[in-house]
């Protein structure tokens, strides 16, 4: 007993929902965001092409990997020389489906052979029609693929009968459920016709296959296709909107990261400025204390100046601790005084207040005197260094004991 189309369609929905919702090691290798779209593609395909039945099977890749995948197994109808035939095919949905095209194979039976040098089918049965090569996600789908297969194979069938037999009934006309070969009744090499033998599939639930679905009303099919297309478009728009929002969130997160970095730099600079302000306040306190000390000293010595003589000997304002220090002070003072005198002479020559030859004589005399003073200062400095070393050597035994 064949179930009605509505119940069979519900069984297909339950089957796809079951296999696509599995998890763990038995889960199918499809991404979660495409499983719903894969389900819709297969439901639409079984509605428009009931002979194609969804099931799961093991596929072996060229590198030896085996994986459990969804497939649509059955036949696609073609019209060749005004006669309808069924071409057995298998449509494999790879792991990257629907972003990448499925893999379609022609599935000949024992008495079928693949046409040699077919433009779209290689000797192993692999199909490569332009629709697969120009697959565009998400607009491309299995329903349009099945229509394109019917159109391409109708122009050039890929399968033929291996042992053609003559037709005993001249008035017999092949139909959709018969198989034969087309020959020229007048003799000569006849033009072969494609195989017409629809494979028998068990009903849904037996071996994981889905039974054949009865043809439905064209208006219902069109309505369901329109709804599925609208749902597919809404789903694509939602995915695009989600990607756009994710990109905006990424840009916002990047801006937030930049702002946090600037906040850290601002806090670091503010802390450095506060530390510097505290250091300046401490330095200001030290300056104020030194100012108070100097002002007190000025007040104290100002009273002494008023009470004493107004003539103060500048040379006696500083007292040296020893003879070497006094000699060093005198040599340094003379050296600096000669520097000032040479500068004044240079200014006088520039202004024309002194002849140049007189300037040269004075500079020569001052330079000689400056040389002797500098030489004396160098000797005094050496003597001071030697006396300091001797003093340190004399104190060393005392520290040692």
What's the pLDDT tens digit per position in 253-268?
A: 889 999 999 999 999 9
pLDDT at residue 194 is higher than 80: no
184 pLDDT more than 50: no
- Whether the per-residue pLDDT at 166 is higher than 80: the answer is no
Categorize the per-residue pLDDT at 61 as very low, low, confident or very high, splitting at 50, 70 and 90: confident
pTM assigned to the model: 0.42
At residue 222, the pLDDT reads 75
Give the integer Cα–Cα distance in Å for 387 and 325: 12
Q: What Cα–Cα distance (Å) separates residue 6 from each residue in 72, 107, 307?
A: 19, 29, 130
Q: Tell me the per-residue pLDDT of 20-38, one tens digit each, with 9 for 90 and over.
A: 888 877 888 898 888 889 9
Q: What is the pLDDT of residues 98-132, one digit of tens each?
A: 899 999 999 888 888 888 888 999 988 999 999 99
Give the pLDDT band of residue 64 (cuts 50, 70, 90): confident
pLDDT tens profile 291-300? 999 998 888 7
Which of 196-210, 275-289, 327-341, 359-373 bottoms out in mean pLDDT, i.e. has the lowest? Answer: 196-210
Report residue 144's pLDDT band, with 50, 70 and 90 as the boundaries. very high
Of 182-186, 217-221, 223-227, 328-332, the least confident = 182-186
88 pLDDT band, cuts 50/70/90, is very high
Q: Tell me: pLDDT of 177 over 70.
A: no
pLDDT at 316: 66
| Residue 374 or residue 5, greater confidence | 374
Higher confidence at residue 171 or residue 73? 73
């Amino acid at each position: 007993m064949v179930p009605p189309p509505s119940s069979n369609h519900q069984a297909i929905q339950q089957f796809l929902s079951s296999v696509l919702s599995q998890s763990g090691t038995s889960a199918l290798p499809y991404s979660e965001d495409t499983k719903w779209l894969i389900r819709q593609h297969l439901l639409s395909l079984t509605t428009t092409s009931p002979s194609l039945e969804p099931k799961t099977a093991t596929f072996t890749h060229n590198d030896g990997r085996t994986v459990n995948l969804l497939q649509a197994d059955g036949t696609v109808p073609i019209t060749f020389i005004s006669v309808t035939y069924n071409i057995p095919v298998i449509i494999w949905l790879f792991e990257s489906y629907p972003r990448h095209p499925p893999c379609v194979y022609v599935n000949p039976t024992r008495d079928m052979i693949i046409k040699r040098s077919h433009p779209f089918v290689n000797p192993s049965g692999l199909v490569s029609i332009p629709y697969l090569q120009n697959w565009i996600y998400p607009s491309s789908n299995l329903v349009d693929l099945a229509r394109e297969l019917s159109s391409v194979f109708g122009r050039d069938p890929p399968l033929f009968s291996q042992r053609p037999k003559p037709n005993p009934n001249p008035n017999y006309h092949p139909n959709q459920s018969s198989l034969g070969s087309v020959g020229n009744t007048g003799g000569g090499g006849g033009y072969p016709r494609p195989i017409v033998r629809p494979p028998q599939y068990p009903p849904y639930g037996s071996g994981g296959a889905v039974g054949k679905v009865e043809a439905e009303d064209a208006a219902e099919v069109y309505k369901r296709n329109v709804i599925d297309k609208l749902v597919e478009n809404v789903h694509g728009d939602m995915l695009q909107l989600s990607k756009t929002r994710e990109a905006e969130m990424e840009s916002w997160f990047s801006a937030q990261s930049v702002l946090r970095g600037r906040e850290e730099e601002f806090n670091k600079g503010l802390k450095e400025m506060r530390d510097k302000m505290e250091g300046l306040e401490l330095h200001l306190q030290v300056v104020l204390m030194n100012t108070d000390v100097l002002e007190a000293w000025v007040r104290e010595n100002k009273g002494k100046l008023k009470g004493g003589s107004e003539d103060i000997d500048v040379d006696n304002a500083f007292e040296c601790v020893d003879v070497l220090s006094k000699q060093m002070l005198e040599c340094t003072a003379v050296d600096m005084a000669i520097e000032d005198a040479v500068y004044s002479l240079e200014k006088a020559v520039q202004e024309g207040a002194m002849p140049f030859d007189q300037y040269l004589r004075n500079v020569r005399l001052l330079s000689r005197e400056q040389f002797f003073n500098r030489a004396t200062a160098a000797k005094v400095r050496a003597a001071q260094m030697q006396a300091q070393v001797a003093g340190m050597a004399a104190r060393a035994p005392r520290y040692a004991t």
